[in-house]
Structure 1
């Protein structure tokens, strides 16, 4: 970057896939992928004007941290010391606080035609979190998709939970459609139900017989308006799913299909959970990348991560990071096309 306040744009491309990234928030601004007829379109939401990323932050395509998702009551205790965080979601802390990693100007540590690595130093007590945290995020176009690798180290005990916060619409960012006709599969038998403030209660709830059962693929809009307390609290889906398979191993954790374009996205991650959010508050705002105003549910997020509020829930997978250890999260968005649901999920 020529100066800290300048937002630099970086393009990487390979095999018909092109990504545009920003140094602000290590943000994915555009991701162009072909449909079943070979026609490429941008499938992630963003802003038309770069200045809006600072003026109207909505987490479009950013790296969320230090702690992605919510921490209840904006505080947690680690090794007997209570750390108080700035609240930016009612009484809670969301995505690291009001000046989280999405608001930071990242440095470009390495780049080539197919990849770019961003680096950030987060000082001790940045947004209230302990430890000097050094973070790197690498984007690479490979194996028919975009991989994202997170790495971090600390000089004292802390918590870390990093994820990517892209909003996807596989019909195209400028299509003007919602994602309610997208078909989704999440291989998860449980969720972590929340209270009215969307903080997990600490329970694990079976998806059997509920609107949260995506083990068999179904359109997102099929059950989103069901009479369900959890859906009412989130005004739609905004919940963490407990994934099958061993955390720490890369595996497919979700598949998303748009019948209109034929695009299929297979999401892979090493994390134990994935937050599924249906863009319930997206409606209105300033113009998107293609110049249109997004409707509510005009995009969705699938955010692999540790469970929300894990620092306050000892039974949840730990988000602790100690000196001498490295935080690692590998994830990837893999793309293909299909003629119908049977082929997409076969």
Structure 2
């Protein structure tokens, strides 16, 4: 049990970057760096008791400086897509960075996954936690307001990784935070995840156009390959001719969850028949983005000298809906000055 610290690199951008090693009494280990709050390793047992790393990432810190796949990072100020890179709050328009065609993605060129967070170990509810804090100043990536953000990581003895988010701004602003870990429950270098089985606790999704932008519609999953109301292999949909899959070049869609927002509720389950690893996802937010790693490529060596390929891992990102700033009937990620943003995500691991 407890949290250990190892030096990753000294004095980068006038701050030290460290790796924090969290462990529980069962032997589960999470390695997290204060650069981007990145989960660089998550080691959990399979059905035979073999411990392996189930998240994708790099060995070298320098590779995270670009991190074009957003491996493991805290995403903010606004996770996912903002159409035409325009943010409007109380009739004031803010022009954000176009970093995905003409649209804004995952907080811009230097989102929260590329900043150095202050780190400390704290005790919360008798659990030792890694607490990261960052002050995003007014105008950073052209977002309004000085936004103070705290993200807390902890491991439970039920083999859960819990992530608690808190943020508050001194101006009206937008806040939509998530974690962008890619999971492969066989182990991070095992190949594609087409045999993984997924269940999403939702019967509705937000369809997208050819640029991956939600159109504003909310549709039933019935009759589509986005129907994960019962557990089924991911590959069934990936290899289909479903129009929604074609538009996303795979799965890259938001599902509408039935959560109260007051406490973490189950959003998804993921199972790997080969290893027997089973993961539950809990959240307090109204949406979950399932991304099947459609653009992964072997541009450079990753951990253990692995070169990842298409569908090598998948993301289950809990958040507000993408493009919710345009569609007023979507839950709003706009927070007035002084209003507190809170969000909890739990990834819990077991075997079958």
TM-score range, shorter chain: over 0.9
Find out whether 1:226 has 2:240 as its counterpart: yes
Alignment of 1:28-39 (within 5 A): 28-39=39-50
Question: 1:7 is matched with which residue?
Answer: 17
The 5-angstrom pairing of residues 8-157 of structure 1 reads 8-14=18-24, 15-111=26-122, 114-142=128-156, 143-157=158-172
Contact 2:259 2:285 (C-alpha < 8 Å) held by counterparts: no
For residue 169 of structure 1, what is the aligned residue in structure 2?
A: 184
CA deviations on 1:305-340 (whole Å, 9 max, x unpaired) are 0000111211100101122321000011001100xx
Q: In structure 1, what is the Cα distance between the partners aligned to 2:269 and 2:91?
A: 41
Contact 2:264 2:346 in 1 (8 A): no
Instruction: For 1:283 and 1:248, locate their aligned partners in 2 and report how far apart those are by CA, in whole Å.
Output: 39
- Coordinate RMSD, CA, aligned: 1.4
Does the aligned pair in 2 maintain the 1:7–1:50 contact within 8 Å?
no
CA distance in 1, matches of 2:351, 2:242: 34
SS of 2:244 mapped into structure 1: helix
Which residue of structure 1 lines up, in the alignment, with residue 3 of structure 2?
A: none
Contact 1:173 1:290 in 2 (8 A): no
* Match 2:289 to one of 271, 275, 278: 275
1:295 aligns to 2:309 (yes or no) = yes
The answer as to 2:227 corresponding to 1:192 is no
Query: d(CA) in 1 for partners of 2:128 and 2:185?
Result: 22
Looking at structure 1, the residues matched to 66 and 146 of structure 2 have their Cα atoms a distance apart, in angstroms, of 28
**CA shift at 1:174, angstroms?**
2.5
Distance 1:248 1:71, change over 3 A: farther
Question: 2: distance between equivalents of 1:26 and 1:34?
Answer: 24
Write the distance in 1 (CA, Å) between the matches of 2:120 and 2:81: 29
Matched residues in 1 for 2:336 and 2:347: separation? 29
Q: What's the TM-score once normalised by structure 2's chain length?
A: 0.93
User: Structure 1 unaligned runs (5+)?
Assistant: 339-346
Tell me by how many angstroms 1:128 deviates: 1.2
Which stretch shows the higher mean deviation, 113-122 or 208-217? 113-122
Offset of 1:145 from its aligned partner?
1.1
Corresponding residue of 2:260: 246
Residue equivalent to 1:341: none
How far residue 247 of structure 1 moved from its aligned partner, in angstroms, is: 3.0
